[in-house]
Amino acid sequence: MKERPKLLVTCRVFPEVIEHLRPHFVLDGNATDRALAGDELLRRAADRDALFVAAGDRVDRALLDACPRLKIVATGSVGYNHIDIDACRARGVAVTYTPGVLTEATADLAWALLMAAARRLAETERWLREGHWNTWTFDQFLGADVHGATLGIIGMGRIGSAIARRARGFDMRVLYHNRTPAANAADLGAQRCALDELLASADHVVLVVPATAQTHHLIGARELALMKPGSVLVNIARGGIVDDAALAQALRSGRPGAAGLDVYENEPHVHPALLDLPNVVLTPHIGSATRSARLGMAMLAADNLVAWAEERPLPTPVPL
Ligand code: DGY
C-alpha cells in the first residue's frame, strides 16, 4: 500500500476539515491557539510533503529551502501574496488558493465598512457608550450620503463585481478602474476610467486589487489628495496597497473624510497614527469571516490537498 504523504496544517481550522484530510495524510497540525511561525514552523515543516497555510503565513525561500520534500502548498485564502510563487514554481511545488467561496461575504464587509465610515458608526457608538449623549441637535454627527453617490471600485474582479451589484440597490453611479475592461461592466452599469479620474470623481472608493509589486502603495499621498473632501476610502484588499502613514495624514485634513480598513501594511500591527483618528473604522482582517465563507475556504484548500494526494487534477491551482 502507498505511504500516505505528510501534511502540516499551520493554523487552527475547523474539525470537519481535519477529518476530511485525515484519511489521506499523516497529519501534524491544527494548531489550536496560535499560527505557527519562525523556527517552530521551519522545524515542523521540514519533513512535510504538503502544507496547509493561511494568509498570515509567509511561504518564502527560507521555508521552501527548509522543506526539501515539499510538493504542494494549499492556502486557505484567495490572496496569495504571502507565498513566493516564483520560488515554488522553480522548485516544482504546486500552489492552490480559494477563489469564489468568500466573494459575497467579503463584498458584504466592504459595504459594512463603507456604511460605517460614511455614517460615523464606530465614532458615535463610542461617544454614546462614554455617556456623552444628553440632547439631539440637527448638526450632530453629520455623515456622508451613500445612496445616490458615485462609487469608485478599484479592481473589478469577482469581489469588485459583487460590491457593484449591491450598489444598484443604493441608486449609485459606479466607476471602476481595471487594467482590462470587465466583461460584466455593462450588466453592472459600471463605467471604466483611469485611476486619477476615478479618485477625483467618486464620492467613495473601494480597493479590491490583489497585492503585487505593481499595486504596492498604489494609493499614496498624491492619490489621496485627488479624492473629494468628505469622501470615504475602503480597503478590504491587502495591506501595503495603501500607504498607511500617508492615509493617516490625509484623514487629518479631511480628504478623504473617513476610511474603513480591514487590512494594514504591517498586520497584525496597525499604524499608531490610524489608531488615534476618530474618522477611521478599523477591523482585524475579517473580510471573509462568516462561518460559511471560512469553512468554504478551509474545505476548498483541503479539497485541493486531497485531489493532489489522489493524483487528480487540482480544483483551484494558482494561475501561472
Ligand atoms: C483572503 O482569502 O485572501 C482573505 O483576505 C482572507 O485571508
Asked whether residue 32 carries a pLDDT value surpassing 70, the answer given is: no
Mean pLDDT value across residues 289-294: 98
Render pLDDT for 81-93 as a digit per residue (tens, 0 to 9). 999 999 999 999 9
Distance 294 CA to ligand 1 centre (A): 9
Burial of 197 (0-12, 13-18, 19+ CB in 10 A): middle
Is the bond preceding 256 in cis, omega lying within 30 degrees of 0?
yes
Distance 229 CA to ligand 1 centre (A): 30
Q: How far apart are CA 78 and CA 102, in angstroms?
A: 8
Q: Write down the pLDDT at residue 33.
A: 61
Residues contacting ligand 1 via CB (< 6 Å): 55, 77-79, 102, 287-288
Give the residue numbers marked as catalytic: 238, 267, 285
Distance 208 CA to ligand 1 centre (A): 11
Render pLDDT for 249-289 as a digit per residue (tens, 0 to 9). 999 999 999 999 999 999 999 999 999 999 999 999 999 99
Q: How far apart are CA 243 and CA 241, in angstroms?
A: 7
* Pocket residue to mutate for ligand 1, from 77, 113, 292, most atoms within 8 A of Cβ: 77
Averaged pLDDT of the chain = 96
Asked whether residue 2 carries a pLDDT value surpassing 90, the answer given is: no
